[in-house]
């Protein structure tokens, strides 16, 4: 067991638990976008940033990929932490002005409109779909193409991927609902020419599945 402090509370948790997991178990709110409990953490969105004090030295770390350690002090809601989260959401909202989850996270931080000129993206590159396809489905039909601001989630070489089994996992895990299963075109464009990956509609609940 490891004992450490989080926002003035003393916590006792198992080894190899991340700060984020410890916080969630203790009911401490830390916002995240790229975290998914079923997937390996990747530390991409950086919204889960917290202040970590270790041996008297303070730094900011992404809590999803930082394991707890004996004697550390974690502060999840300092002015600096809020400031960093606000700027990150500001940047993401500028990229994806119409994505609901970003709006929802931004509201408590008092962001209505971004300070930057808006773009028209839907995907904010959290990578949950890519990791789910690799770690859960085990086929790696999609990945990141290009680099930096040009990064896109795509099948290799933007060609229909023969590895795709049309399971639709990517669409269901997407927090931005970038791939709407109902919009069959989008799914085919992403998946390509698997054997039978047509999207069907459930006659009971009327939701789409594949």
Partner 1 sequence: MRRVSDIADLEKAREEILRGRDPDAPMVAVCCGTGCVACGGVKVVDAFREELESRGLSSKVTLLATGCHGFCERGPLVVVRPAGILYQQTKPSDVAEIIETSIEGDGIVERLLYVDLSTGERIQREEDVPFYRHQKRLVLDRNGIIDPTSIDDYVATGGYASLAKALGSMTPDGVVGEVKKSGLRGRGGAGFPTGLKWELCRKSPGETRYLICNADEGDPGAYMDRSILEGNPHSVLEGMLIGGYALGAREGFIYVREEYPLAVSHFSKALTAAEEAGLLGEDILGTDFSFSVTISRGAGAFVCGEETALMASIEGREGRPRPRPPYPAESGLWGCPTNINNVETWANVPRIVEKGGKWYASLGTDQSKGTKIFSLVGKVVNTGLIEVPMGMSLRDIVFKIGGGVPGGKAFKAVQSGGPSGGCIPESLIDLPVDFEALAEAGAIMGSGGLIVMDEDTCMVDVARYFVNFLQEESCGKCTPCREGIKRMGEILTDIVEARGKAGDIERLEQLAYVIREASLCGLGKTAPNPVLTTIRYFRDEYESHVLHKRCPAKVCKAMIVYRVVADRCTGCQRCVKACPVDAISGPRSQPHNVDLEKCIKCGACYEVCKFDAIAGDAIYIE
Which parts of this chain interact with partner 1 (CB under 8 A)? Answer: 41-47, 49, 60, 62, 65-67, 80, 83-84, 87-88, 91-92, 94-95, 115-117, 124-125, 127, 143-144, 146-151
**Cβ at position 65, least distance to partner 1 in Å:** 4
**Cβ at position 88, least distance to partner 1 in Å:** 5
**Comparison of 136 and 184: residue with beta carbon closer to partner 1:** 136
Q: Are 164 and 139 in contact (CB under 8 A)?
A: yes
**Comparison of 59 and 162: residue with beta carbon closer to partner 1:** 59
Residue of 137, 124, 130, 140 whose CA lies nearest to 177: 124
What sign does the dihedral 93-98-161-199 (CA atoms) show? positive
**Comparison of 81 and 136: residue with beta carbon closer to partner 1:** 81
**Comparison of 56 and 148: residue with beta carbon closer to partner 1:** 148
Q: Are 35 and 20 in contact (CB under 8 A)?
A: yes
**Cβ at position 195, least distance to partner 1 in Å:** 27
Beta-bridged to residue 203, according to DSSP, are none
**Comparison of 151 and 162: residue with beta carbon closer to partner 1:** 151
The sheet carrying 57-62 orders its strands as 9-13, 2-6, 73-75, 49-54, 57-62
**Cβ at position 135, least distance to partner 1 in Å:** 14
**Cβ at position 104, least distance to partner 1 in Å:** 17
Start-to-end Cα distance in the chain: 44
């Amino acid at each position: 067991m490891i004992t450490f402090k989080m926002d003035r509370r003393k916590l006792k948790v198992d080894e190899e638990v991340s700060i984020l997991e410890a916080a969630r178990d203790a009911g401490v709110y830390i916002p995240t976008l790229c975290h998914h409990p079923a997937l390996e953490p990747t530390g991409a969105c950086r919204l889960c940033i917290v202040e970590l004090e270790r041996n008297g030295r303070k730094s900011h770390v992404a809590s999803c990929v930082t394991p707890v350690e004996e004697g550390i002090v974690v502060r999840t809601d300092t002015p600096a932490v809020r400031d960093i989260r606000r700027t990150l959401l500001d940047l993401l909202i500028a990229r994806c002005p119409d994505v609901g989850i970003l709006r929802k996270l931004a509201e408590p931080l008092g962001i209505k409109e971004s300070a930057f000129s808006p773009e028209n993206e839907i995907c904010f590159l959290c990578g949950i779909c890519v990791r789910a396809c690799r770690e859960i489905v085990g086929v790696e039909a999609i990945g990141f193409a290009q680099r930096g601001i040009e990064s896109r989630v795509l099948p290799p070489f933007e060609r229909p991927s023969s590895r795709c089994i049309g399971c639709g996992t990517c669409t269901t895990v997407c927090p931005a609902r970038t791939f709407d299963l109902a919009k069959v075109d989008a799914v085919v464009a992403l998946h390509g020419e698997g054997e039978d990956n047509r999207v069907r509609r459930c006659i009971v609940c009327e939701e789409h599945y594949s």
